[in-house]
Amino acid sequence: MSTFQAPKGTYDLIPPDSARYLAVREAIAAPLKNSGYGYIETPGFENVELFARGVGESTDIVTKEMYAFETKGGDKLALRPEGTASVLRAALEANLHKAGNLPVKLWYSGSYYRYERPQKGRYRHFSQVGAEAIGSEDPALDAELIILADQAYRALGLRNFRILLNSLGDKECRPVYRAALQDFLRGLDLDEETLRRADINPLRVLDDKRADVQKQLVGAPVLRDYLCDACKTYHEEVRALITAAGVAFEDDEKLVRGLDYYTRTTFEFVHDGLGSQSAVGGGGRYDGLSEMIGGPSLPSVGWALGVDRTVLALEAEGVELELPPATSVFAVPLGEEARRVLFGVVTELRKAGVAADFSYGGKGLKGAMKNANRSGARYAIVAGERDLAEGVVQLKDMESGEQEAVASDAIVEVLKAKLG
């Protein structure tokens, strides 16, 4: 074993498991690519201030979980704890909002980092696929994103997930609610840190998972009762559009999400097979974030779905993904001449789009056939000197064990036909 190991709370993705993660990423991205979302990639670290301003000074993410550091040049940077602030920063920097069509629709995939207590389904390094629609205030966009995430999960074969939906109001009605909630919280028996949080962002206290806090929150004022008419109308339209698309959801008036930038629509995807860490993804509208990070007013909406969490949800439901075989054909040469010929055949098969591999290292027949078995290939091609003298190779069906001689100049076409 090497003297080095992956840092605590992180993991390596290695075959064959990594194939499932790739399939999950591709399945989440597929409906986005089909709906006008272009791919964006941002650096793994950003100016620390971007997250402090965007995600929120009072959030656990910024106060406790961010990997922040100072460079040799004195810049204060942080590993990205989430994707939205980075994507919006990149879109503003490239003036994408001035290029014509709004909303600017973007999707991304990558690793994110939070310093927290590692547990199953919650790591210090995790992978997400996300989508953002920037620069348009339209309930149809909120609905579109929720429907696309639902579509992605259903395409993967997930069924036991739930969509929780709420509205957090806007800059007109939320301050009124905020003041009412603060009054209520000040009358409770809360520890100092929770009271401090109630002063900065009281909605975050509703998200507190501790039983003694939750018990005291019974009877807390409900945001729904404080929504202004514009927010109520907006939320009703989002609900109507999702319902018309046949997507089921549950109204959850306590749903606030852990980031300060959300306004109006907020939603979460939860899976009950995951225990206490039940969220697999979520998102919402963030109409004020652009101004928070120094940009113009650009109402926007987005989500991020956890790849690791989605894989755990698939396991919880016992869903086996249909993964394409890593290798369909495995070539076993016996002798130098056969090596040259079969290497050429493998190259041709790959050009024709057939997943093919080769027995490297000059192994004998027994060892090479073991490798062919392990590769999961459906067919093996075996050739020795006598076969080549007769202008054939032996084609073995690894499932049935049947073997036939095929003309070496026809083998590529024969395999293409057999593999469809």
Residues of the chain with pLDDT below 50 are: none
CA pseudo-torsion sign 328, 333, 339, 341: negative
Please give the span between the terminal C-alpha atoms of the chain, in angstroms, as a whole number. 43
> DSSP for 337-391?
HHHHHHHHHHHHHHHTT--EEE--S---HHHHHHHHHHHT-SEEEEE-HHHHHTT
pLDDT at position 259: 62
Give the rounded distance of the alpha carbon of 129 from its chain centre.
Answer: 3
Task: For residue 401, give every residue at least 6 positions away whose Cβ sits within 8 Å of its Cβ, in sequence order, or none.
Answer: none
pLDDT at position 57: 67
- According to DSSP, residue 159 is labeled -
CB-side neighbour CA atoms (13 Å) of 391: 3
Give the rounded distance of the alpha carbon of 228 from its chain centre.
Answer: 34
CA-closest candidate to residue 304, choices 288, 319, 283, 318: 283
Edge-first strand order for the sheet with 279-285 is 38-39, 104-113, 125-134, 300-306, 279-285, 263-271, 161-167, 250-251
Q: What are phi and psi of 278, to 5 degrees?
A: -85, -15
Angle at 299 between CA 298 and CA 301, to 5 degrees: 125
Angle between helices 411-419 and 336-351 (to 10 degrees): 50
Is residue 415 within a helix (H) or strand (E), and if so which, with residue range? helix 411-419
pLDDT at position 202: 83
420/398 Cα distance (integer angstroms) = 17
CA-closest candidate to residue 110, choices 87, 91, 134: 87
Q: Are strands 76-79 and 45-47 parallel, antiparallel or unpaired?
A: antiparallel
The CA-based dihedral angle spanning residues 346, 349, 350, 354, taken in that order and rounded to the nearest 10 degrees: -120
305 forms beta bridges with 129, 281
Q: What are phi and psi of 141, to 5 degrees?
A: -70, -40
Q: What are phi and psi of 283, to 5 degrees?
A: 175, -155
Q: Does the domain spanning 17-173+227-317 belong to CATH 3.30.930.10?
A: yes
pLDDT at position 331: 96
Q: Does the domain spanning 329-419 belong to CATH 3.40.50.800?
A: yes
Q: CB–CB of 135/87 below 8 Å?
A: no
pLDDT at position 1: 66
Q: Please return the burial class of 201, using the count of CB atoms within 10 Å of its CB with bins 0-12, 13-18 and 19+.
A: middle
pLDDT at position 257: 67
Q: Which two tokens stand for residue 404?
A: 């036939």
Taking every pair of Cα atoms in the chain, the longest distance, rounded to a whole number of angstroms, is 93
The residue extents of the domains of the chain are 17-173+227-317, 329-419
60/28 Cα distance (integer angstroms) = 27
